[in-house]
Each structure stands twice: as structure tokens, then as C-alpha cells.
Amino acid sequence: MSKMKEKINLKTIGIYLLRWTALGVLIGGICGGLGAVFSKAITAATALRGAHPWLIFLLPVGGLLTVLIYRICKVSDVGTVRVMESARLEKKVSSLLVPAIFCGTVLTHLFGGSAGKEGAALQLGGGIAAWLSKLFKLEDHHRRSLIVAGMGAFFTALFGTPLGAIVFVLEVLRIGKYAWNASYPTVVAGFTAYGVASLCGVHWERFSMNVPALGWKAVTVGLLIVAAAAAAALLFCYALHWSEHLFKRWFKNAAVRILIGSGLLILLTWLVGSYDYNGGGMEIIEKVFHGEVRYEAFAVKMLFTVVTVAAGFKGGEIVPSLFIGATLGGALASLLGLDVGFGGALGMIAILGGVTNCPIATALIGLELFRGQGFIYLAIAAVLGFLLTYRISFYTYPTKEK
């Protein structure tokens, strides 16, 4: 009897490994390839806007096109939270979300909205998984696992942080009993996507910093930077949630919302007299690690991003949050006599831990972004950023799992 059970268990394990290896490689390959195309499209849109700054005046046109695309695809009410819910609950997501979020995010970056790309990554991965689930007629619990794998794979393809991305989707979804089932396909899909995107010529951002010797000054100033970044995370999350709520309350029509938001962004760009706060702003983050920082940059970027998201433009909030954390941390480090790059790194990781409530994934992302430099400091910053902003994050769930 025991031998029969052992044979059955081995057979079950073998079938499981074969099925999820195949599905993981398949969705990882698709996400890696499409992720490479998406990444290059964002890069091209950013370069085109940089060469032709007047494109900012076409932001209302880009906004209306986004609204139209979402209406045609019938996914106007679908966002990152809805995709997350499809991995946690029985809610399903239309595969038409893929072209909608792809085009919407590229339009945002082309015409100067202040947004990132991680929201798009999660939605694209989830949308591809929804299409494959329908194609293969997967059962609900298998569909959920594939959605988790797709989200992790696309996140990896865009950011080049496989360890952080894999843990991030498992940690942010809080999927409990489904975490074990989803972990293996997510690992397979994530590393497959990483390999495919790399072969397609995607180059990911990596940073370096001067790690100070352990001492009272480094510890004290470091803790002040982490606390300030956590406070910024709280302010940013509340501002995003309330501004989006108020815009929808004041302006019922999505087209009106995005036109008003476009006008505000054009006005803000003119008042600031700089295009540094349009788009994701990764080039400004890189400047921090060369010792260049402006003291007001974090607050201005926060304002630009809040208006962008409230108006209904597509993209994500993680890259802007990294901008805010890096410039805030760098500015405080400059004022308090610490290395600017080190302060920027602490600010980036602390705010990321706060806005996502994912300290383990954040620490791993820090490990990969900085190639292991100052990992102990960054891991502590990730945990403290999480603890100081506990339960407040970008990702809130309007429904509870029963």
C-alpha cells in the first residue's frame, strides 16, 4: 500500500513539474519577448519626447486616445488592483487589457505624463496569463497560479530583477494557501523572461554608490533619511488615493478628467520651467548617484505623479516613487554631510518598502539594483520603510476574500 502511494505521489509530482515547467517557460517566453518590445517602445517614446519637447502640448490628445482605446477594449474599469484580485479571487480579467495598457502607457510617456511602468508590467503579465488560461481551459486555481507567474515574468522583463520580482508578486498578493502552488511556475517564468529579454537586447538600470564606514554619523543620518522616506511614502500613497477619488467624484466623465489633468500637467511643466518631471525620470535618478540633486525635486515629482494618476493616465507609480526616494534621500544626505548616492539609495529602498508593503522583495530588488553594494543597509531600510508605513500602500483591495 505504501509503495502504491509512493508511486502515485511520484506520478503526481512528475505531472505537476512537467505541466508547470512547460507553462512557465511558455508564459515566461511570451512575457520576456513582449516585455522587450514594451521596454524599447517606452525608451523610444522617452527619447522622442526629449528631442521634441513641444509634444507636451499634445498630452490632451494622448489622453483622449487612451480613453478611447480603453473603451474600445472594454477594460475602462480594470487596473492593477483588479488584476491582483484575479490572482486572489474568482474575478477574471479580459485579455484585451494587454493592448490597452501597452498603448496607454506608451502614450503617457510619449506626451509627458509622470508615470512609471510597473503597473503596466503587472497588468500585461496578468492579461497574457488570462489569455493563456482561456486558451488551455485551465481550472480556476491553475488560472490564478498562471496569473501570478505572468505578473512576475513581465515585471522581471522590464526591471531585470528576477529575485525581487518573483518574491514581489508572491508577497504583494498575500495569496496565502495559493503561494506554494504559484511559487514554482513563477520562478520558471521569471527566469525565462529574464533570459529572453536579455537576448532581445534589453538593458536594465543598475546603480553604484560609496558605502560609508559604519559609525554614529552614518547610522544617525541614515535613520533620518529612512524616516523621511517613510513619511514621503505615506504622503504619496494618501495623495494618490484621495486625488483619484476626488477627480472621479468631481469629474464623472473619464475624457473630462484626462483633459483637465492634461491641462494641469502642461501648466505645471511651464511653471517649473523643466521637463525633468515628465515621464518616469530614471535619468534624474541616475544623476543622484553622480552627486547631482535638487532639494525640491522630490516634492515636484510627487505633485506631477499625483495629477497624472488622478487624471487617468496609464503606467505605474513605482518608478516615480524611486525618483522621490532617491532625490529626497540624496538631498538630506547632501545637507547632513553624507554621500549623496548612499543617501539616495537608502531613500529609494525605504520608500519602495513603504509604498509596496513588501520588505523582503524590496530588499532583494535593492540587492539586484546595486549589485550587492551596501546590502545590509538597504535591507534594514526596506524593513523600516515597511514598518513605518504598515498597512498603507499603493495596492488596496476594495473586496475581501471569503
Provide DSSP, 216-257. HHHHHHHHHHHHHHHHHHHHHHHHHHHHHHHHHHH--SHHHH
Consecutive 10-residue averages of pLDDT for the chain (402 residues): 57 83 95 95 94 95 94 79 64 80 94 88 88 86 87 93 92 66 90 96 92 88 96 94 91 93 96 93 93 94 96 90 97 94 97 94 96 94 93 62 36
| 3-class DSSP assignment, residue 339 | coil
Cβ count near 291 (within 10 Å): 14
Question: Angle, nearest 10°, between helix axes 359-369 and 375-387?
Answer: 150
Q: Where are the domains of the chain?
A: 2-199, 216-387
| 3-class DSSP assignment, residue 336 | helix
Give the span between the Cα atoms of 199 and 312, in whole angstroms: 34
Enter the DSSP assignment of 323: H
Q: What is the predicted pLDDT for the residue at 400?
A: 40
The C-alpha cell that represents 69 in the structure block: 482605446
Nearest alpha carbon to residue 197 among 162, 148, 244, 234:
162
**CATH for 2-199 (3.40.190.10, 1.10.3080.10, 2.70.170.10, 3.40.630.10):** 1.10.3080.10
Give the number of residues written for the chain: 402
What's the distance, Cα to Cα, between the start and end of the chain in Å? Answer: 38
The C-alpha cell that represents 29 in the structure block: 517566453
What is the SS3 string spanning 31-59?
A: HHHHHHHHHHHHHHHHHHHHHCHHHHHHH
Q: What is the predicted pLDDT for the residue at 305?
A: 96
Using alpha carbons, list the distances in angstroms from residue 220 to 208, 227, 231, 298, 352.
Answer: 22, 11, 17, 21, 20
H or E stretch at 20: helix 2-51
Q: Say if 2-199 and 216-387 have the same CATH topology.
A: yes
Using alpha carbons, list the distances in angstroms from residue 302 to 32, 261, 306, 308, 369.
Answer: 30, 14, 6, 10, 22
Cβ pair 351, 233 in contact under 8 A: yes
**CATH for 216-387 (3.40.50.300, 2.70.98.30, 3.10.580.20, 1.10.3080.10):** 1.10.3080.10
Cβ pair 166, 149 in contact under 8 A: no
Q: What is the predicted pLDDT for the residue at 89?
A: 58
Identity of residue 402: K
